[in-house]
Chain A
Amino acid sequence: MRPRGGLPRPTKVVGPIVGTVVALVAFAAVAHNSGSGWVQAMGSLLAGFAVAGLGGPGLACARLRVSVVTNPTDATASQPLEIEVATTAPARVEAVAPHGQATTIGAGTGRVRLVPARRGPLLWVTLEVASAAPFGLLWWHKRVVVPLARPLWVAPVPGPPDAAMLSHPTAQAELDRHRPRDARVGEPRGVRPYAAGDPQRLVHWPATAHRGELMVREAERPEAAVPGVRVVLPDDGPEGDAVAGRGLGTVVTLLTRSSPVMLATTERDGPRHEAVYTRADAARRLARAVSAGTARAVSAGAARAVSAGAARAAANPEHR
């Protein structure tokens, strides 16, 4: 997606224009009363400086292009983060949505600070770019919606743990049934043959060279049940953010005692009940969580789109 922007507009234009008009009128009065041609010539030069200084930034701002070079993938609501922005010319850049501080980017790239207010995935940022080229006499600004270099998952602000969110523990075997055996936890037990889904970093190369087949490390697996947390968002507004925050606080508290934690949430494409092993996993899961109503609306819309596509395919066989 290409960035979308509005027309440039001047900032605080009244003062500079009034000052310019007063100066030019004074020059004209002196020239046309004294008859001095050089005064008129100087006034013409002053008019040229005024046009270039007051109108030039509008053109510079219109030609200005902004892009996000890099950005982090995870953040927390109400916490500042920085993204790297590139401009085609020196400019002042300020994040508008999410809001942030203004930064002057001289040439090339610069870092812009912004503070996401809400949790959720962030694909775009609205930036206000301003230029006063070539003379710095008047700023012109415009707002540009710029896609991020990669999705940014904004986690909710962690809240206090909520015991009401605890759900039935999940047996370790049940966990293993849905996921490949993982040796991230437990005491080392030995090596075993590679199974589909094993992380590449678990490959035990000496054993592999000895056996002639891929071998991975294996650890003792605790037999204790995996605790579960269910987070049901009432809506996708501030109340839902608060619930998600408490859910995050609950999961983080459980993770300090044991890992993993089974987290049940609802996402846009339906319920999701999977283990989270770190705070970052939990934060990202809760960033993606939506309320049940949103999930139903999304699935209904998808169903309508699928049926519309099927109807068109049925009507126009050659478009299949």
Chain B
Amino acid sequence: MSVLARVRAANKPGPPEHSVVLRVASTAAVAVGVAACAAEGELSVAVAAGSIVALGAGNLFSYRRRTRPLPWLKAVLAVVAVLAFWRFFIAISGARGVTNLGAVVGPLAVLFTWIQVTHSFDVPSRRDIAFSLAGSVTLMAVAAAQALDMSFGLYVVAWVACMLVGLGSMWGSIGGAGRLRARTVLAGAATLAVVALVCVVVLPAPSVSSRLVFPTSIGGDVSVSSPAGLEGTAQGATLPVHAASVSGRVDVGGYLGFAGPLDTAVRGTLGNQVVFRVRADRPSFWVAETFDEWDGQSWTEVPPTSGKQWRVISGGSPFALPAESGADGSGTQDIQTFYLVQPGPNLIFHAESTDQVWFPARSIFVDPDGNIRSDTSMGAGSIYTVVSSVSTATPAELAGASGHTLDPVNQARFTQLPHPYPRVAALARQITAHATTIEAKVLALEQWMGTHTTYTTDIPPLPRGADTVDEFLFGNRRGYCEQISTSLAVMLRTLGIATREATGYVPGPYNPITDLYEVQAKDAHAWVQVWFPGYGWQNFDPTAYVPLANPSPAVTLGHDALGALGRVPVVPTVVVAAISAAGLLFWRRRSHTPATTAGRVSAALERAARRGGLEPSAAESLPRLAARIDALAPPPAEHPSAGAIAAAAESAAFGGRELAGAVADRLVADARALVRRVPRRRRARRRPAQPGLDAPSASSNEAPATSRAR
């Protein structure tokens, strides 16, 4: 067959498809894909709505013309498809090559939508409908690439339902069953669910390629009034007007600490709202600010006049940041992409030592301590990416840390104390008496605080003029992350160890489906950073636990499942399960119990026969079975024989009149007593029948010789 003939044979239209359910399901699957793309911002609402209407109209036209397709229609649709491809290539030619996924996904969604809409006008046969179903997969994949939260799951569920109905209808049409078979769909759905769950659990979490151009966008820009100044949301930053307020709403990123000073005497209300989502290879502390000067109640950053200068990095995204002095550059690269859900200050969160920042701005500000600020505040929907070097130093390596130490100016800055803290110093020396290295001293202090302090957010107000550390360590020893971390920092500073306070967020719960850390307002945290010669600033958190690597989906799902099970109330669940099981057993017993007296007596006699090792035959009458039972176990004088019971049952069955209540009950009771009376014996095995000499062989294709056709 020539190539042209093969092409013609491949494009030969198949028989027209008459199944309406199949067409509706395929149209719905494509419509769900278009809607999903619109929900992720890849299509405008108008384009999506128009496309869905056009899909319906096209499929209706195809259904009406399925037996008489228009010959010139394919040519017209082919021209439209070529135009769509041309438009797509023009759209992506302005992007930074195909490595800029964000610039490709939108035009890709438009292209696939165009193709599906044009294709919908020429769908006469089953093969064309299958192409539509396959096209819906591509639309959903394009939408999934931009999906960040679990709301996308609604579209996935709807799409899966449409696919199951569509594919099940396709088999119904192929197999000639005509209608959609529920059992077929359920079997397919069960297999799909099991395989998908296994894949999600077994496959490792996806990681971001470093060769890509990362997405960036800014939502709501309020320019910073002063260089490197900290600005809040577009509504402006506010702080509580009085100290020791344990409640009160703040607008600065939902956390009080994201302000110029960190006042340990006050705490904002931290709720469950998601502040931002992070895609990262590993969980880390998301650092917002670091503080170096402690005044007994608040942490502040040393102003620029003291030699600390904010550096302006211009030139546009990506911004390359200078390496932090003192660190040897070890560690692994980690790429974090932040998707802001709530408006936030002009703080660029990052994990540890930052090398590169992808941010849609003209310039950013960086201080020698590694704090990063943008020149504009960030509204909801802002996206930026940070490439960091995350420390992988082990405790043993930190214990043997040596090398470049801080210069005297910085050493003095990071060991600064407002007053000598004699009691704190004595306590720190006592705790670390046996520790010889910085790492050992830090761990000793952390362990002491873990056993001698209590975490709680319900603390009394700090008295005016009192010192937070003295009040915490030598008072009630009750506090939250700010008191605990500040106390640790002060104790380390009394030992001459360079320490600073850091604020930001803990990683937050990991979602194995979206592969994002969902950081909530309540995840705001304060911890300590300690300087190690040769390794730089290392995080130490006396109040929170940070895992060492991205949890596998299996671990996360299992942990979530166990957590959900743990929250299930035991007693009510057991009671409901017991009642349900009893009800099910009662219903099964009732449905299998014969309704008539004769039926119940017959069932009892069969049980008695089996108990005695006799096998009731289907062709055996009840009196004959009863005779065999009596022969096996003759009845005592005071009990009726099986034969008498069987005779009474047969009389009731064929006499045309059911026995009276008491008589029937008595008869059934006698039959059941008979069951208990028959001695239990093992059923005899039946010998297999010998094959007859004249039995037809399996290979013979002729009738047996004994039969003669007439």
Contacts and interface: CB of A to CB of B under 8 A. Distances in A.
B192 A45 contact: yes
B279 interface: yes
Contact of B513 (A30, A41, A120, A151): A41
Among B156, B174, B279, find the residue whose CB has the most chain A CB atoms closer than 10 A.
Answer: B174
B184 A134 contact: yes
Contacts of A51: 191-192, 195
A32 interface: yes
B188 A38 contact: no
A91 B243 CA distance: 79
Contact of B175 (A43, A53, A132, A288): A132
Interface in A112-142: 120-124, 131-137
Contacts of B696: 1, 123
A124 B699 CA distance: 10
B613 to A, nearest CB: 25
Interface in B156-214: 156, 160, 163, 167-168, 170-178, 181, 184-185, 187-188, 191-197, 199-200, 203, 205-209, 211-212
B196 A47 contact: yes
Nearest to A272: B708
A134 B188 CA distance: 6
B101 interface: yes
Nearest to B143: A38
A132 B346 CA distance: 59
B144 A38 contact: yes
B145 A30 contact: yes
A271 interface: no
Contacts of A131: 175
A39 B709 contact: no
Among A1, A46, A305, find the residue whose CB has the most chain B CB atoms closer than 10 A.
Answer: A46
Among B194, B203, B513, B514, find the residue whose CB has the most chain A CB atoms closer than 10 A.
Answer: B203
Interface size of B as a range: 35 or more
A48 interface: yes
Nearest to A124: B701
Among B172, B196, B512, B516, find the residue whose CB has the most chain A CB atoms closer than 10 A.
Answer: B196
A91 B175 CA distance: 6
Contact of A56 (B152, B191, B207): B191
Given A49-B192, A288-B709, A34 B212 contact: yes
Interface in A50-65: 51-53, 56
B515 A37 contact: yes
A90 B185 CA distance: 14
B140 interface: yes
A221 B701 CA distance: 41
Nearest to A55: B191
Contact of B144 (A42, A48, A308): A42
A104 interface: yes
B206 A31 contact: yes
A90 B702 contact: no
Contact of A136 (B101, B170, B516): B170
Contacts of B207: 32, 35
A104 B175 contact: yes
A205 interface: no
Nearest to B170: A136
Interface size of A as a range: 35 or more
B396 interface: no
Interface string B639-650: 000000000000
Among A40, A135, A137, find the residue whose CB has the most chain B CB atoms closer than 10 A.
Answer: A135
B225 interface: no
A151 B209 CA distance: 71
A151 B167 contact: no
B700 interface: yes
Interface string B242-282: 00000000000000000000000000000000000001000
A134 B192 CA distance: 11
Contacts of A44: 195-197, 199-200, 203
A284 to B, nearest CB: 6
Contact of B193 (A33, A37, A48): A48
Nearest to B700: A123
B152 A38 contact: yes
A298 interface: yes
Contact of B101 (A34, A151, A153): A34
B514 to A, nearest CB: 5
A269 B705 contact: yes
B141 A42 contact: yes
Among A34, A284, A308, find the residue whose CB has the most chain B CB atoms closer than 10 A.
Answer: A34
B705 A34 contact: no
B241 interface: no
A309 interface: yes
A304 B516 CA distance: 82
Contacts of B337: 35
Interface string A260-278: 0000000011000000000
B144 A41 contact: yes
Contact of B140 (A42, A56, A105): A42
B192 A52 contact: yes
B5 to A, nearest CB: 19
Interface in B344-394: none
A32 B209 contact: yes
B200 A41 contact: yes
Among A41, A44, A153, A302, find the residue whose CB has the most chain B CB atoms closer than 10 A.
Answer: A41
Given A121-B701, A123-B703, A151-B703, A48 B167 contact: no
B203 A45 contact: no
B208 A34 contact: yes
Contacts of A49: 163, 167, 192
A135 B171 contact: yes
A298 to B, nearest CB: 7
Contacts of B174: 104, 132, 136
A106 interface: yes
Interface in B107-146: 137, 140-141, 144-146
A27 interface: yes
Among B163, B170, B178, B709, find the residue whose CB has the most chain A CB atoms closer than 10 A.
Answer: B709
A288 B708 CA distance: 10
B208 A134 contact: no
B516 A48 contact: no
Contacts of A137: 167
A256 interface: no
Contact of B206 (A4, A37, A53): A37
A120 B160 CA distance: 55
A195 interface: no
Among B175, B212, B698, find the residue whose CB has the most chain A CB atoms closer than 10 A.
Answer: B175
B176 A90 contact: yes
Interface in B651-710: 693-694, 696, 698, 700-703, 705, 707, 709
Nearest to A284: B709
A107 interface: yes
Given A37-B514, A48-B199, A134-B167, A268 B192 contact: no
A121 B703 contact: yes
A110 B178 CA distance: 14
Contacts of A47: 195-196, 199
13 contacts: A33-B101, A33-B208, A33-B209, A37-B511, A38-B147, A42-B144, A47-B195, A47-B196, A51-B191, A91-B175, A107-B176, A135-B168, A135-B171
Given A33-B209, A38-B514, 13 more contacts: A35-B206, A36-B515, A39-B144, A40-B203, A46-B137, A56-B187, A90-B175, A106-B178, A132-B174, A133-B184, A135-B188, A269-B705, A288-B709
Interface of B: 101, 137, 140-141, 144-147, 152, 156, 160, 163, 167-168, 170-178, 181, 184-185, 187-188, 191-197, 199-200, 203, 205-209, 211-212, 279, 337, 511-516, 693-694, 696, 698, 700-703, 705, 707, 709
A-B complex: 4 closest residue pairs judged by Cβ atoms: A37-B515, A106-B176, A90-B175, A44-B199
Interface of A: 1, 4, 23, 27, 30-49, 51-53, 56, 73, 90-92, 104-107, 110, 120-124, 131-137, 151, 153, 268-269, 284, 288, 298, 302, 305, 308-309
